[in-house]
Amino acid sequence: MSKFSSFSSGVVFFFFFILVICQVSEAARLVPTHRGHHISGFVTTKDTQFLLHGSPFLFNGFNSYWMMHVAADPTERYKISNVFRDASAAGLTVCRTWAFSDGSNQALDLQISPGVYDERVFQALDFVIAEARKYGIRLILSLVNNYNDYGGRPQYAQWAKSAGVQISSDDDFYTNPVLKEYYKNHVKKVLTRFNTITKVAYKDDPTIMAWELMNEPRCQSDTSGKTVQGWVQEMATYTKSIDNKHLLEIGMEGFYGDTMPEKKQNNPGYQVGTDFISNNLIKEIDFATIHAYPDIWLSGQNDYAQLGFVQKWMSSHWTDSRTILRKPLVFSEFGKSSKDPGYTPSARNVYMNAVYNSIYNFARRGGTIGGGLVWQIVAEGMESFYDGYEIVLSQNPSTAGLISGQSHKMSALSHTLSRKH
């Protein structure tokens, strides 16, 4: 990948970098300290806004998908506490993590086989929720994976095959009655779980901000989005029948489908079987999500082309959420990989700063976007979880300062909007 190939682009990058350094310096003075937090009230939505206690709720957040997995070993639980502590100190108030682990690693699986659960791993998730509550961080809990990491759709299909069900592909997950029943059973098991630490059922706990139906649903056999549409409608209705207190979202990346063909030009050159418009118009879905990985989706293009794509991606989805869906939007996965050619920590900061500025400016211009969740924050000593996007807050002071600055800006804007509200 050829980066910063001309003098003019180098000048732009230099001034952008200076801007980031100034903001990091400012942010360093704004880092809040942990003084004991209290979570009360469920986050709700009204039109295009998130609300908490009736006032606008804006946030800065992060992904740490690994928490339950790591907490399954009690000697490792300090890593969860450390991340929540450091995240809280940086003003982060929402964390997205997995509430699934399906048959892929017998020693650490939550769901060992359909309907059979490891109580020890469930108690690890209890701990994650209890620690989040302690540090004033709300959780978005995802209920299954699209991919075979931690089991996911492929594992569900394999379970059904082993039970003698005729399965033609992993996409049968969306249509086969047996697979759908497996998934519904998991949803019910998690939502009705009684937390052994907090003594509160998950479905009654305001620490949980939202449920996510699936991490990045995709369907190769039907790129129109209609197969996923039917599944989302059925599962959203089922989830809300058990728990109508919590918000619900799909977990989508934001790819456009056949509903509005003219919008497909915003996709990175392909579709994945979802339809951002129709899927999120489903009544039981409370807010929309987008992810963006231009370093993967537009591999080979330079930093400026990739950033340009992300800004257009955000703008398009913000507009559609505001005018068509009339629901809030969360940029729930973004980051910059250290595996990219020419990567430097300062280049990551420049990229993150641009994303953060866009989120803030969209929120300031009329809400709709509630916040962003950077991928991903890990604790010290977790090298085996490194994927190129990892951020250890205690080891990356400039990035931590940038994150703190965004937290402060979103919090201040939230207070300003609350006064107006």
Q: What are the residues whose beta carbons fall under 8 Å from the beta carbon of 138, sequence distance 6 or more? A: 39, 43, 59, 93, 94, 95, 132, 206, 207, 208, 209
Nearest of 388, 386, 389, 358 to residue 372 by alpha carbon: 358
Contact 64, 375 (CB under 8 A): no
SS3 333: strand
Nearest of 138, 139, 62 to residue 393 by alpha carbon: 62
Dist CA 68 CA 105 (whole Å): 13
Strand partners, 291: 333
Catalytic residue list: 216, 333
Dist CA 411 CA 91 (whole Å): 8
Contact 40, 418 (CB under 8 A): no
Residue for token pair 């940086």: 90
Residue for token pair 């509550």: 133
Q: What is the DSSP letter of 229?
A: H
Dist CA 172 CA 397 (whole Å): 46
User: Is the backbone peptide bond immediately before 106 cis, with ω within 30 degrees of 0?
Assistant: no
* Residue 31: Cβ within 10 Å count: 16
Dist CA 312 CA 318 (whole Å): 10
Residue 120: both structure tokens together = 């020890």
Contact 57, 387 (CB under 8 A): no
Residue 234: both structure tokens together = 């059925």
Residue for token pair 């599962």: 235
Give the orientation angle of helix 78-89 with respect to helix 119-134, to 10 degrees: 20
For residue 140, what is the enclosing H or E element? Answer: strand 138-142
